[in-house]
Amino acid sequence: MNVCTDMMKVTLRIAAESLFGDDLAESADEINRVFPDILASLAARVSSPLRPPIWLPTANNRRLRPALAVLDGIVSRLIATKRQRLASEGLTPDGPPDLLTALMMARDEETGESMSDVHLRDEVMTMMIAGHETTANALSWLWVLLDQHPDEQERLRAELQAATGGSPPTVGDLAQLHRTKAVMLETMRLYPPVWMFDRRALGPDDLGGTAVRKGDLVIFCPYAIHRLPELWPDPDAFQPERFDGGRKPHNTYAYLPFSAGPRTCLGNNFALIESQIIVGTLLSRFCVRRADQTPIEPQPRVTLRTSRPVILHLETASPQGITR
Ligand code: HEM
C-alpha cells in the first residue's frame, strides 16, 4: 500500500462525501482524476516567485485550467441537482444531509440573503482543497511514526480492543480513543502539514525585540516553533503523552498545526475525527509496517510532505480480534 496516495484518496473521498452526500457517487471518479493536477499546479504556483494570471497560457496554467473547468462543471451540476431536490422534496426531519445543503439553507443574519451559486461553488472548492491534502499528509507521517514505534501501534490496538472489541470505530467510540488522538496531535507537532503561514500586522508591535510595523508580513513556522526546547522538552522525541488525557501545552501559541486566532482552521475537529476513524479502522484489521527502512525526510512544499513514497505492508490481524 502506498500510504501517501491512499491517504490522499480516502481523505478526498471523505471531504467530497461530507460536502455532497449521496449525489457524489457518479462524479467521484472524475474528481479523483482531476484533483492531482489541481494540487500539483497550485503547489507550483505557490512555490514560484512569479504568479502569472491564470489566463496566461503557461505550461502550469495549461494543466490547471482544464482540471479546474472539470471540477467547476461537477460542482455546478451538484449545486443545481441539490437546488432542484430541495425545491421539490424539502428537507427530511433529520436536517441537511450534507454540508452543501446546509450552506444552501444558510441565510445572512443581517440581509436574510442566501449564498449565490458562485459563492457556494467557491466555498465548496475551498473546503475540498483545504480539507484533504493537509489531513492526508499528517496521516502519512503518522504511519511512518507508528512503524518506528511498534510499541505505540500495539498500544493503539489495545485501546481499540477496549473501546470497540476490535471493530472499526464509529463517532460514538471516539471519546475512548484518546491515545489515538494524542498520536495524531503529536504527529502534527513533529510534522505540521501547514509548516508555514503568514499574517499581515494590523498595527505596530514588538516581537522579541524585533520591531513590526503596521502592514508588515509576519511569517510563522510551526515546524520550528514545535521543536523549540524551551517550549517542548526533548523536542525531537515522539511522545504522544504530551497530549494524552486532553493535556495541552502551557503556552497556547506553542502548538499551531491549525494556526490560531480568528482565522484558525475551520476543519480542525473534522480532521481529528476523520483521522481517529481512519487510523482505528486500519489498525482494527491490520498490523502495519514499512516495506523498507530507507530514511524519510520532511519535504516542505505547500504542505509538509514525505521525501519519498511511504510503502506499507499490511498483515491481517487475527479474525477473532485484533491481538496477533
Ligand atoms: C490535519 C488537517 C488540517 C490541518 C493541519 C489544517 C491546517 C490549517 C491552517 C494552518 C489554516 C490557516 C492557514 C492560514 O491562515 O494561512 C487552515 C485554514 C483552513 N482550513 Fe484547515 N487544516 C486541516 C484540515 C482541514 C479540513 C478537514 C477542512 C475542511 C473540512 C479545513 C478547512 C479549512 C478552511 C476553510 C480554512 C480557512 C479558514 C479561514 O481563513 O477563515 N481544514 N487550516
Q: What is the mean pLDDT of residues 40-47?
A: 78
Query: Is the predicted pLDDT of residue 321 greater than 60, yes or no?
Result: no
Domain extent, residue 273, equals 3-194+226-316
Within a domain: residue 104? yes
Q: What is the mean pLDDT of residues 223-231?
A: 97
Within a domain: residue 210? no
Contact 278 CB / ligand 1 (< 6 Å): no
Contact 135 CB / ligand 1 (< 6 Å): yes
Query: Is the predicted pLDDT of residue 323 greater than 60, yes or no?
Result: no
Mean pLDDT across the chain:
89
Within a domain: residue 31? yes
Q: What is the pLDDT of residue 61?
A: 87
Within a domain: residue 207? no
As given in the structure block, the three cell numbers for residue 121 are: 461553488
CATH number, domain of 143, equals 1.10.630.10
**% of the chain residues with pLDDT over 70:** 97
- Distance between start and end Cα atoms, the chain: 20
Query: Is the predicted pLDDT of residue 222 greater than 80, yes or no?
Result: yes
Contact 222 CB / ligand 1 (< 6 Å): no
Confidence of residue 318 (pLDDT cuts 50, 70, 90): low
Q: What angle do CA 300, 311, 255 make, to 5 degrees?
A: 40
Quickly list DSSP for 22-59: GGGGGGHHHHHHHHHHHHHHHHHHHHSS----TTS--H
The residue among 131 and 175 whose pLDDT is bigger is 175
Alpha-carbon gap, residue 255 to 248, rounded angstroms: 9
Query: How far is Cα of residue 15 from the mean position of the Cα atoms in its chain?
Result: 9
- What is the whole-number distance in angstroms between the Cα of residue 266 and the centre of ligand 1? 6
- What is the whole-number distance in angstroms between the Cα of residue 267 and the centre of ligand 1? 6
Within a domain: residue 47? yes
Within a domain: residue 322? no
- What is the whole-number distance in angstroms between the Cα of residue 233 and the centre of ligand 1? 27
User: From atom 43 of ligand 1, which residue's Cα is the shortest distance away?
Assistant: 265
Nearest CA to 196 out of 129, 261, 256, 133 is that of 256
Within a domain: residue 211? no
Query: Is the predicted pLDDT of residue 322 greater than 80, yes or no?
Result: no
Of 95-104, 165-174, 264-273, the poorest mean pLDDT is in 95-104
Q: What is the pLDDT of residue 24?
A: 73
Contact 127 CB / ligand 1 (< 6 Å): yes
Structural domain count, the chain: 1
Atom of ligand 1 nearest to the CA of 18: 30
Q: Say what the pTM is.
A: 0.90
Within a domain: residue 216? no
Give me the count of residues in the chain. 324
Confidence of residue 320 (pLDDT cuts 50, 70, 90): low
